[in-house]
Amino acid sequence: MKLLNRYLAQEIISSIMLIMLGLLAMFSFFDLIQELESLGQGSYGIGKVLLYVLLSAPGHVYEVVPVAVLVGTMYSLGQFSRYSELIILRVSGISIRKIAFSLLRVGLVFAVLTFLVGELIAPLSEKAAQRIRIQATDSVVAQDFRSGLWVKDGNSFVNVQTVMPDASLMNINIYEFDNEFRLRTISNAKDGSFDGKNWNLHQVTQTHFEEQKIRTNMFPEATWQSLIRPELLNVLLVVPEKMSAWNLYFYINHLTSNKQKTSRHQIALWSKMIYPLACLVMVILALPFGFVQQRSSSASTKIFAGIMLGIVYQVLNRVFVHLGLLNDWSPLFSAVMPTLLFMLAGIFMLYWVERR
């Protein structure tokens, strides 16, 4: 049995890695085509474009691993069926259940890989990629601290305590310096919203530092011209789905202590915990296809079927996230349902194949 496990693992892992490299190359190519539109803006040259695409790759790896496991396993099992190896295994007294347990070991390897990439590599590389792009194209440098979000805007440093989901700002502090880096003005605003061209600030207090005196003015409203845009702030904050589970946990505690809604972040946290298990589910779902239409189905048909099932899984994940937010479903329910549905489908198909 050890020899069989080694043979199955070797063949299936090689197929999964081949499919994963193909999907990763495809997504990276799409990223490159998209970034070529911004080529030449500021200092955003071909070198930084390629670096951005490279740093974005771990995020794509995290997304495509379950799909690659499904397609790669279906392809390998299709090859086994083509040469009647699965029939030989069954005739030799090896049940489908034993074959499934052998394949689950392969799924477990990729489940661990998915978790490690999603927790340790993808969040950091994604943030680094976005900052490289922002610095090169917009000349805006940003860093987030416990005191809020800090953004360098020309000769000004901007501190925003809270960025709302609609990209409106709360508790804004603008520190303006002259060319010799001497503090000239401090502007404080309770909140601000973007009108398409400029920021409209409300309840503004402005302090001017002159050579011999300090002057303070108060305005009910003011207009602020800045390079900062809502899309820039959204990028800097990193969407919950791309945050690590560790950061999500602490951010949820922060939102809870401030009596803010945490539904989206809780769903993202549960998805982070459950998503790697999809690799195990995909193995179970792929196994019945090795015994269905063994000689009539070509390898391309199985690859196409696997890709379509993978797309359906990703779509279901997005649909249940949005439905959970709209209907205030339990975060665990919203996160686990797509994976649970695919697992039940795989178990039912295995039962059907074994009873034939």
**243 or 71: which carries more pLDDT confidence?**
71
Q: From CA 194, how far away is CA 27, in angstroms rounded?
A: 33
Output the pLDDT for position 16. Answer: 94
Angle at 23 between CA 17 and CA 27, to 5 degrees: 140
Burial class (CB in 10 A: 0-12, 13-18, 19+), 139: middle
Output the pLDDT for position 180. Answer: 82
Please give, one letter per residue, the 3-state secondary structure of 290-339.
HCCCCCCCCHHHHHHHHHHHHHHHHHHHHHHHHHHHHHCCCHHHHHHHHH
Output the pLDDT for position 15. Answer: 92
CB 115 within 8 A of CB 276: yes
Mean pLDDT of the 90-103 span: 81
Query: Whole-number mean pLDDT of the chain?
Result: 84
- Please tell me the pTM assigned to this model: 0.75
CA atoms 35, 36, 38, 39: torsion sign = positive
Mean pLDDT of the 8-32 span: 92
> Does 168 score more than 60 pLDDT?
yes
The pair phi, psi for residue 161, each rounded to 5°, is -70, -40
Residue 15 CB partners (closer than 8 Å, separation 6+)? 72, 73, 75, 76
> Does 111 score more than 90 pLDDT?
yes
**175-205: b or e for each residue (b if 16 or more CB lie within 10 Å)?**
ebeeeeeeeeebbbbeebebeeeebebeebe
> Does 82 score more than 60 pLDDT?
yes
> Does 208 score more than 60 pLDDT?
yes
| Banded model confidence at residue 132, pLDDT cuts 50, 70, 90 | confident
